[in-house]
């Protein structure tokens, strides 16, 4: 599998974690508001829940060679973009994203 394909998978997992976390937190806030009618209780609990899901479900996108976390590289630049915008090498170690990795 190509290095780029691994990174695209990680980007998808990160987005999925974000969406699931947001949906579940929203649902819990709604339920708590219905039960307690208190925003002071419901919103912080929803926020904590979102943070927990996001940090556990979302996998950080990182270089398989050096472990550099692609925080400053938007996910779309790994997959899309013109050849000028798309990144082809790890910004940290210079490993080619089109090389094969296991
Ligand atoms: Zn690297």
Q: Note whether residue 86 is domain-resident.
A: no
CA 97 / ligand 1 centre spacing (Å): 9
73 pLDDT higher than 80:
no
pLDDT of residue 66: 92
Quote the CA–CA distance of 49 and 28 in Å, as a whole number: 9
CA 82 / ligand 1 centre spacing (Å): 22
The listed range with the strongest mean pLDDT (39-43, 72-76, 81-85, 91-95) is 91-95
Region 52-73 average pLDDT? 81
Q: Note whether residue 87 is domain-resident.
A: no
CA 52 / ligand 1 centre spacing (Å): 28
Q: Note whether residue 39 is domain-resident.
A: yes
Q: Note whether residue 33 is domain-resident.
A: yes
More confident residue, 101 or 81: 101
């Amino acid at each position: 599998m190509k290095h780029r394909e691994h990174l695209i998978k990680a980007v998808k997992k990160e987005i999925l974690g974000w969406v699931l976390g947001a949906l579940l937190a929203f649902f819990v806030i709604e339920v708590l508001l219905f039960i307690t009618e208190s925003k002071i209780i419901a919103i912080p609990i929803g926020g904590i829940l979102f943070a927990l899901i996001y940090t556990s479900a979302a996998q950080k996108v990182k270089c398989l060679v050096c472990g550099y976390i692609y925080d400053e590289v938007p996910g779309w630049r790994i997959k899309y973009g013109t050849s000028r915008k798309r990144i082809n090498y790890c910004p940290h170690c210079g490993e080619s994203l089109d090389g094969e990795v296991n």
